[in-house]
Structures are given as structure tokens and as C-alpha cells.
Structure 1
Amino acid sequence: MHADMQGSPWASDVVTLAVEVLRVLADPTRLQIAGLLLDEEKSVSDLAAELDRPGPGVSQHLAKMRMARLVTTRRQGTSVLYRVENDHVRQLVIDTIGHVEHLLEEIPAHHRPLRAASS
């Protein structure tokens, strides 16, 4: 263990990288992108349409997320599809939103029963 991290359960380089990962996710658009990619792959144009944002801006956010290893890509024909990198990233996003829902609501959305869709 490093002398400057005495008493810390993690090495300095691990903490530094963790802070960088959290910094990348600390952008509202990037957090929304991560949420949209939790359960399915999407292209830049799909994400841009769902977020009502310009494609080039979404692409820049995805590039930062890719550098932080939060998302990965897969080529399908001429399209590039994005998805969250792994289950750890998926759980980080879910836990972050779940924690905030607990802070803001008496009964958080993730604890409410699902309502049947109206016919």
C-alpha cells in the first residue's frame, strides 16, 4: 500500500481511475445515454433521436464514455451499435439512480409495482 493512502482500502491509482469514471458519468447526457444502453444496443442516431440531441454531440459523449470503458461497440453492416461495457457499469448506473430515488421519494420508482399497460 502507498504511504499517501495509509488507511485507505484501495491503492492510489485505483482511486484516481475510479474518480475519472465517475467524472465521465457525472454529465447528465452521458448518464442518460448509459441508461438507454442498459438493456439494448443502440446506434448514435437512435440515441440522438431518443434524447432529442444532435448526433455529433451524442457521438462525442459516446467517445468519452468509450475511452473510460463505460461503453463498447459492435459493427452491424454499416452501423455501429453501442452498449454498456459490462454488468459492473450496468449496476453502477442502476445503483446510482436507485440511490437518488431513495433520496427524493418516499417510495422510489424502483420499489413501486409495475402498472399494467392500458388497453
Structure 2
Amino acid sequence: MVEGEMADAGQASQPARLSVVSAATDGRIVLTLVGEIDRDTGQTLRQTLDASGTPRPRIVVDLSRVTFMDSTGINLFIAAHRSLTEAGGWIRLASPTEAVMRLLQIVGVDAVIDCRETLRQALSN
């Protein structure tokens, strides 16, 4: 798992466009994302979602502070879902903003990946 921030490519003086804080609780990895998920920040999210080598990985992604997400995020979450499921684990998306949830619904991701309204719900069994 990668923890930290990624600066906008080419402009190191710019504030990070996506920051990720990783924490473990009750056998689950909780990733709190802040900022934008797009082509420029996708590598940070890809690295963060990599749970290879972790037996039965269970990841909860808190989206409550994601301000923008494009198809990059959709593709990364679907790839993570496949990878984690193959490893006997799962991924849950928690607290998506209205705009992010609408995108997840339009493309049908909410029918494939468990999406919960709150972080508390996502952490429950």
C-alpha cells in the first residue's frame, strides 16, 4: 500500500491533487482519498489499491472527500475488485459524494462493487 500525496506532474509547487491516508482497523484497510481521481492521479490510486501478497485483503475506500472522478477511477476500482476477489478478499466504496455516486450508478459500478452510504456501514460486516 502507498501512503501519502502525489504532486501534480510537472508542477511540484502545486498542492497535491490526490492524497491518500491508509489505516488498518479490524482486519480491514481503510483508504481515505482527498482530491481528484483522474488520469494524472491514477497511478497513486493504483499503487494504493495494490494488496498483492495480502491474504484475503479487505479494503474500504472512503470517497467522502473526492471532488472529481473520471473513467480512470472507475477502471481502477473495477480492476481492484477483480484482483481482490481473486485473492479471496473484497473492496467497498464508502460515502461517495453525490456526483461520484451518480457516476458509479450511471456506469453500473454500484451493481458490481459494494457501495455504502457511510464509512460506518462499509466497516460493518
The TM-score normalised by the length of structure 1 is 0.25
Q: Which has the higher helix share?
A: 1
Structure number with greater Rg is 1
The TM-score normalised by the length of structure 2 is 0.24
Q: Which has the higher strand share?
A: 2
